Structure 1
Amino acid sequence: MDDETVDAYLERIGAKRPERLDPAALRELHERHLLSVPFENISRTERSPFDLVEAELVDKIVHRRLGGFCYELNGTFGLLLRALGFDVTMCAGRVLLGTESGPVEWDHLCLRVDFDEPYLVDIGLGWFSRHPLRLNSTEVQTDAAGEFLIEPSENGERIVHHNGKPLYRLWPQARELEDFRESWWWHQTSPESHFTQESTCWLPTQDGRLLMLGNQLVCQKGDQWTDEFFNDDESLLAAYRQYFGLELERVPPPAVQS
């Protein structure tokens, strides 16, 4: 990622180049990314599925200003962090929520960023920690998004818990983008994948979150929940633009049929 692309990416998330490569700088970039780039599966409808390679990830997130899910969000954020000089490793995980995981053992891409100690960086789950988590800590870590616990498991694996429930299994060993290609493609195209069942778009806010499910917008602000339905294409596209910053070419189509 060249300097011009780095500057465009930082502008996309409303951040400046960090003066120091430390946990505080990582924390700032992590939060700004979460609050700026939505977790979504709708952009698969914008054009034919693209390849899981660096240039196309950067084009999608930085230049076309869309969102994505873990492979795209964490994959591209990892490229930014490396370009800035952080020590970044791509890692594999498996979500433990009873969803279909596809043809390979892992179905999630996350990041490890190393300082004197390693941090778990994950902006690719839609609703996860607002800030990086200390990967080797066995204590509960309190965050704006709840309480997190990283439990050591066999063979160096970790189980990441959110609010007392196991969320995903993490393998901290290094992976490459190519290792995720089969699972990424399955999640984009298979009618068995939950990503093809209904269009969804998540974006955390300073005091809650926004969620678009089909044509329903759900807004959480503190303990208050409201929803709104958009019954025509024009108003739905305007809502994506207003609430998520997404300029879509067309309304997401119905779910993939088996």
Structure 2
Amino acid sequence: MSAVDVDAYLERIGAERPARADLEALEYLQERHLRSVPFETFDFSLGDPVRIGEGAVEKIVGRRRGGGCYELNTSFAALLTALGYRVSLLAGRSLHNGQEPRLGAFFGHMMLRVEIDGEFWLADVGFRWASWAPLRFAERGPQKDENGEYRIVDTPDGDVEIVHDGVHRIRLETRARDIGDFVPTMWWFCTSEDSPVTGRTIWASLVRPEGRASLLDRRLTRYENGERITEVLDDDAFPAAVERWFGIELDRLPELPPMPAAGPRARRGPWT
């Protein structure tokens, strides 16, 4: 990446250029990324090309979009590398779908290992339950974070598992991978009927000042004035809601499931 590209990326996430590639700057950049660039899977449903690495940078910075975990983390890795960090890609798989334990696809997730002054840190800007600050890779005790409590647990086969608030979320390899190693799984995500992001299933998620905004198909959950609000979006409301809550301008609607018989309604509840 050129200096101009870095400046454009930093503008995209609302960040100042750090004076040095240290832990404080990594914490700052990771949080700014999570609060500025949404996790989103619209292109999988629309059938548009999904690229990682430089192609993901163009999408996130040039077109001001978000992406899936491969897109977000390889793009963030490019920024960190340009700023002087030593970054490796680690392959993982999900262990929980948010409701129950469920083993995800092999290589179905990616995290970044960042070396700073001889010590490794784990960073992730592409996962709903990721920590908002880097995790110390060598630490096996609890690590407090704005998004909860995390532990890194060794497995008998040499992997580690990321535990978030008592839930085993990710099993992660400890060996570095080349970006090309993730291409076959990306092809599977884009083409397989068993992929969780093809067809009508759409996700979007963004950390916002008032609370996380989340979209699953037509169902939008967000926070306003300390209240949790859930609503079902019809075709007319969908594009405006996506632009307002995730900053994404859609030029066409993805394929969406039918509206529930009751129609769109908003439900409010206490902050949780």
Q: Which residue of 2 aligns with 1:206?
A: 209
Deviation of 1:252 (Å): 1.6
Deviation of 1:6 (Å): 0.9
Give, as a single letter, the amino acid of the residue that structure 2 aligns with 1:13: I
Q: Which residue of 1 aligns with 2:107?
A: 106
Q: Which residue of 1 aligns with 2:11?
A: 11
Q: Which residue of 1 aligns with 2:73?
A: 74
Deviation of 1:14 (Å): 0.3
Give the Cα separation in 1 of the matches to 2:247 and 2:221: 16
Task: Write the deviation string for residues 45-103 of structure 1: whole angstroms up to 9, x where unpaired.
Answer: 45632444x3311111110111111100001000100001011111111111255644x
Give the Cα separation in 2 of the matches to 1:239 and 1:96: 31
Give the Cα separation in 1 of the matches to 2:74 and 2:38: 14
Q: Which runs of 5+ in 1 are unaligned?
A: none
Deviates more, 1:202-211 or 1:136-145: 202-211
Residue among 201, 222, 231 paired with 1:228? 231
Pair 1:207–1:238, CA change in 2 (3 A)? closer
Does residue 164 of structure 1 match 2:154? no
Larger RCO (CA within 8 A; separation ≥ 6): 1
Q: Which runs of 5+ in 2 are unaligned?
A: 258-272
Q: Which residue of 2 aligns with 1:181?
A: 183
Q: Which residue of 1 aligns with 2:84?
A: 85
Pair 1:85–1:245, CA change in 2 (3 A)? same
Secondary structure of 2:206 counterpart: strand
Deviation of 1:143 (Å): 1.0
**Does structure 2 retain, via aligned residues, the 8 Å contact 1:112–1:121?**
yes
Give the Cα separation in 1 of the matches to 2:69 and 2:50: 15
**Does structure 1 retain, via aligned residues, the 8 Å contact 2:112–2:122?**
yes
**Does structure 2 retain, via aligned residues, the 8 Å contact 1:40–1:69?**
yes
Secondary structure of 1:156 counterpart: coil
After superposition, the CA RMSD in angstroms is: 2.0
Give the Cα separation in 2 of the matches to 1:145 and 1:167: 13
Deviation of 1:173 (Å): 1.4
Secondary structure of 1:82 counterpart: helix
Equivalent runs, 1:41-56 vs 2, <5 Å: 41-45=41-45, 48-52=48-52, 54-56=53-55
Q: Which residue of 2 aligns with 1:138?
A: 140
**TM-score, normalised to structure 1's length?**
0.90
